[in-house]
């Protein structure tokens, strides 16, 4: 069977299996096993040898130790209610502006993203806190849904991000090390947050009914009280961010060591918030174990799929197709970004990375693209996968905790402008790559 036919069949089988609802890790491994046997003439022993050798390499990857540490840090922070105090403070500080409460949600989500890195925690926390508050203040349900869901997805991009750790572990390249990826994601994350803030301010400024300010009679706090409240609730999480990111960017600690410091810092914050006890540690540890096991199973399944896909010649087929086009290299880039965007509508981000990174990274290198710049474009693009129907996880996270007044129609309508904003942000970073490369060049002298 030709490489072209096997390539098409592997992708079709994978998509069909995912659409039928089969577990992702098992699907990736099952498709790899089936087509691996076809490709090598049903020599089971040699296929198992191939699988064992490649799987063992995953568990020897020191960078991946950061995954359970960052997850544990996020779980502790989620249970220490750090975000609640910050939201309450910004509720008072920004509530008097048109759209101010919505902007407060975006600011809190941005800070929370820089301390947790897990979408589910951000969206659920803000859905529980801000969903009812926005509703009570007369916010448009669609706009409120879009604000909470989109700002919650910043957790997958702003460091420390599990996705960036996974990407760095997959490539094994110096240019796309976890440190470089973390540094490269800071300004894009801030840019997207700023675009969200600008959009909310503009829309509510033009139409105050979409996001009315808090009534004047409820604005009783003095300027000094506002400053004290904000500082009291902002300094602890910001200190944790500096602990984790500062040690990495200063070259004092590796991402794995910084993740361990982050766990310690998260437990200190939980202690001072009087939330650190054996029950919290037990629940956080159990959640960390489950999530880490799921991610590592995806790693193994994805690795098996990519190994078989490349062995049947699938990588060469895709490379010849894209590189053989008589078009500008940015057209090829646009095609690759479109493929990532479309896959994000149906497949989990981890599976997308596991499938496309081994295929697209060599093509990007052949086209002369900066590996770090290309990696960040993929990751920024993947942020939209949490918002795009039919399988936008952030939408379901929010719906699961939101008041019943928020319908799926409200949520779908509300997130569309924010998906467009994310794509605009992606385009800006295509034409201004320094947004991505400036900090890695500054801190690591790439």
Q: Dump the DSSP string for 180-249.
A: HHHHHHHHHHHHHHHHHHHHHHHHHHH-GGGSPPPPGGG----HHHHHHHHHHHHHHHHHHHIIIIIHHH
User: With contact defined as beta carbons under 8 Å apart, do 309 and 359 qualify?
Assistant: yes
User: With contact defined as beta carbons under 8 Å apart, do 381 and 349 qualify?
Assistant: no
pLDDT at position 433 is: 95
The 10s digit of each residue's pLDDT in 105-114 is 999 888 888 8
Mean pLDDT, the chain, rounded, equals 86
For residue 91, report the phi and psi dihedrals to the nearest 5 degrees: -55, -40
The 10s digit of each residue's pLDDT in 340-398 is 998 888 777 877 888 888 889 999 999 999 999 999 999 999 988 888 877 777 888 88
Residue 331 has pLDDT above 90, yes or no: yes
Domain ranges of the chain: 3-444
The 10s digit of each residue's pLDDT in 395-420 is 888 888 788 898 888 898 999 999 99
Q: How far is CA 169 from CA 64, 97, 357, 444, in A?
A: 6, 44, 11, 18
Residue 81 has pLDDT above 80, yes or no: no
Residue 348 gets the label, from left (phi > 0), alpha (psi -120 to 50) or beta, of: beta
Rounded Cα gap, residues 421 and 416, in angstroms: 9
Alpha helices, DSSP H, located in 153-177: 162-171
Rounded Cα gap, residues 342 and 319, in angstroms: 19
């Amino acid at each position: 069977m030709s490489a072209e036919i096997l390539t098409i069949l592997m992708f079709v089988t994978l998509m069909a299996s995912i659409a039928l609802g089969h577990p992702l890790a098992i699907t990736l491994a099952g498709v790899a096993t089936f087509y691996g046997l076809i490709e090598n003439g049903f020599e089971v022993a040699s296929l198992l040898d191939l699988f064992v050798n490649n799987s063992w390499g995953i568990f020897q990857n020191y960078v991946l130790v950061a995954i359970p540490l960052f997850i544990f840090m996020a779980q502790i922070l989620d249970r220490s209610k750090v975000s609640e105090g910050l939201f309450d403070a910004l509720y008072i500080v920004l509530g008097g502006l048109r759209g101010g409460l919505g902007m407060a949600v975006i600011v809190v989500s941005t800070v929370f993203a820089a301390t947790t890195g897990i979408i589910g925690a951000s969206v659920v926390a803000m859905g529980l806190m801000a969903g009812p508050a926005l509703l009570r203040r007369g916010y448009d349900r669609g706009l409120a849904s879009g604000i909470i869901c989109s700002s919650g997805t910043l957790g997958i991009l702003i460091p420390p991000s599990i996705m960036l750790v996974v990407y760095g572990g997959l490539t094994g390249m110096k240019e796309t090390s976890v440190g470089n990826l973390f540094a490269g994601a800071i300004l894009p994350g801030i840019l997207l947050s700023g675009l969200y803030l600008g959009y909310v301010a503009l829309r509510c400024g033009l139409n105050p009914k979409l996001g009315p300010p808090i009534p004047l009679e409820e604005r009783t706090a003095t300027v000094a009280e506002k400053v004290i409240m904000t500082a009291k609730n902002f300094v602890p999480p910001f200190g944790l961010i500096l602990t984790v990111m500062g040690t990495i960017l200063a070259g004092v600690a590796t991402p794995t060591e910084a993740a361990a410091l982050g766990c310690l810092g998260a437990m200190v914050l939980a202690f001072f918030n009087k939330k650190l006890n054996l029950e919290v540690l037990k629940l956080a540890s159990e959640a960390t174990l489950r999530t880490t096991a799921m991610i590592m199973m995806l790693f193994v399944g994805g690795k098996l799929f990519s190994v078989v896909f490349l062995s049947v010649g699938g990588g060469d087929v895709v490379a010849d197709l894209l590189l053989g086009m008589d078009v500008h290299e940015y057209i090829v880039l646009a095609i690759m970004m479109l493929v990532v965007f479309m896959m994000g509508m149906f497949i989990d981000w981890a599976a997308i990375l596991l499938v496309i990174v081994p295929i697209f990274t060599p093509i990007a290198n052949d086209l002369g693209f900066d590996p770090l710049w290309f990696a960040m474009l993929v990751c920024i693009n993947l942020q939209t996968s949490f918002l795009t129907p039919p399988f936008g996880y952030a939408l379901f996270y929010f719906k699961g905790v939101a008041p019943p007044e928020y319908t799926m129609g409200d949520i779908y309508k509300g997130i569309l402008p924010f998906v467009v904003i994310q794509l605009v942000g992606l385009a800006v970073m295509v034409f201004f790559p320094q947004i991505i490369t400036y900090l890695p060049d500054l801190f690591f002298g790439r």
